[in-house]
Chain A
Amino acid sequence: MINKLADDKLINRIKEVFSRVLAIDAKEINEETSQENSSEWDSMNHLLIITEIEKEFDMNITIEKSIELNTFSKFVDLVAEKKNETN
């Protein structure tokens, strides 16, 4: 379930980051996308996703939080909450 704080624009920006890093079409990324069910989402790309999300949204992800981030939805939740905190 995608976070209620996340609008389509935000979700699409996160999809674009995933699409760039994983080299797959953004249309293939949805709330079910996870490290477990995506062959492109390997350990190296996981590091790149964290880095690129930090850059895209000018935020820092903690080590503790990064361990939990194994699905697209969790990234959306995190970014939406961070953006909500700063607004």
Chain B
Amino acid sequence: MKRIEDFSVGESEKFVVKITPETHEQFKNLSGDESPVHTDEEFAKKSGFENKIAYAFNVLSYFSRLYGEYLPGGSSVCIRQNAKFHKPIYIRDILTIKGTVTHISVAAKVLTIKNEVLNQKGDICISGEGVVRFVV
């Protein structure tokens, strides 16, 4: 398992996920958010979207996988997270979840990680920054 001293600024990790109708439905049930922009195709199109839009907060949950499995991986806790939503994400979109180390505090045992969520066209749909503390 890597120690905080083993990381370097600019280091990045990424993985790909698909927003499936099943995960969309699961997040609807989990969150209890049944607003029509997520559940009614006709309503979503009338509202100016191409189709029902995916839950952005469902997509943010992949940051948990990013920190827990990829960067830094192992035992870590996120102590601050922010996010900006730039473009809608649709069901069946294929997303790249990416994290890049921008600062390392050895004293605080903390990594600052820039987040980007890109769709299959390469558009940045979500950007953000997470501050993650090593527990080990």
Contact = CB atoms under 8 A, between A and B. Distances in A.
Interface of A: 44, 46-48, 50-51, 54-55, 60-63, 65-66
Interface of B: 79-80, 103, 105-110, 112, 131, 133
B108 A47 contact: yes
Contacts of B80: 48
Nearest to B105: A51
A55 B103 contact: yes
A66 B79 contact: no
A50 B79 contact: no
Contacts of A66: 107-108
Given A50-B105, A65-B107, 14 more contacts: A46-B108, A47-B79, A47-B105, A47-B109, A47-B133, A48-B131, A51-B105, A51-B131, A54-B103, A61-B105, A61-B107, A62-B107, A63-B107, A66-B108
B103 to A, nearest CB: 5
A54 B108 CA distance: 10
B100 to A, nearest CB: 15
11 contacts: A47-B105, A47-B108, A48-B108, A50-B108, A50-B110, A51-B108, A54-B103, A55-B112, A60-B105, A61-B108, A62-B107
Given A51-B131, A55-B112, A60 B107 contact: yes
A71 B76 CA distance: 27
A46 B106 CA distance: 14
A39 to B, nearest CB: 17
A71 to B, nearest CB: 16
A66 B107 CA distance: 6
A44 B107 contact: no
Given A51-B110, A51-B112, A51-B131, A44 B79 contact: yes
A55 B106 CA distance: 12
B108 to A, nearest CB: 4
Contacts of A44: 79
B73 to A, nearest CB: 19
Contacts of A50: 105, 107-108, 110
